[in-house]
A = this chain, B = another copy of it.
C-alpha cells in the first residue's frame, strides 16, 4: 500500500463526517426514544416520531401527511393507526370534506400528548448543553440547519 493511501486511511479511521453523523444520530435517537418510552409507558417506535414535525396543530389530512413524509398514504395511515391506538393522535372528521379526516394530537393526562415528547427532547438538549457547552450546541444546531438546506438542495 502506498504512502498516500496510508494517510487517507488514517484520516478515515478518525471517522468521516458522514459516519459520525450517522452514529450520533442513531445513538441520540435511541436515547430519546428510550426516555419517551419509559416516561409514557407507550411502545413508541422510530417511525412514529417522524410524523410529529409534519402535523399541524389544527390537524392534517392523511394524504397531505403522507406527501410531507414522502411515503404512500397506506404507510402513513398505519403509523397514524398505531398512534391513535396509543391515544397520542386522534382522527376527527374534516368539517369541509366528508371524505377526509383530520389527524391531530390527542390529549393525555390533561395536556397535549405532543408536549410529553417535546419535554423529553428539551431535557436531552439541556443535558447535552451541560456536557458540551451551550455555545457548541447552538453552533451545532445552526450548522445542521445549513447542512440540511444544502442537502435538500441536492447540490452535493
Contact = CB atoms under 8 A, between A and B. Distances in A.
A38 B8 CA distance: 21
A151 B111 contact: no
A71 interface: no
B29 A144 contact: no
Contact of A112 (B5, B114, B119, B152): B5
Contact of A13 (B24, B53, B131, B137): B53
Contacts of A124: 17-18, 156
A1 to B, nearest CB: 7
How many monomers of this protein are in the complex?
2
Given A29-B22, A118-B9, A140-B140, A15 B147 contact: no
Contacts of A139: 139, 143
Contacts of A5: 111-112, 115
A108 B16 CA distance: 22
B148 A24 contact: yes
Interface in A130-156: 131-132, 136-137, 139-141, 143-148, 150-152, 155-156
A128 B143 CA distance: 11
A67 B1 CA distance: 27
A144 B18 contact: no
A12 B123 CA distance: 13
A74 to B, nearest CB: 22
A27 interface: yes
- Point out which of A8, A22, A27 has the most chain B C-beta atoms below 10 A from its C-beta: A22
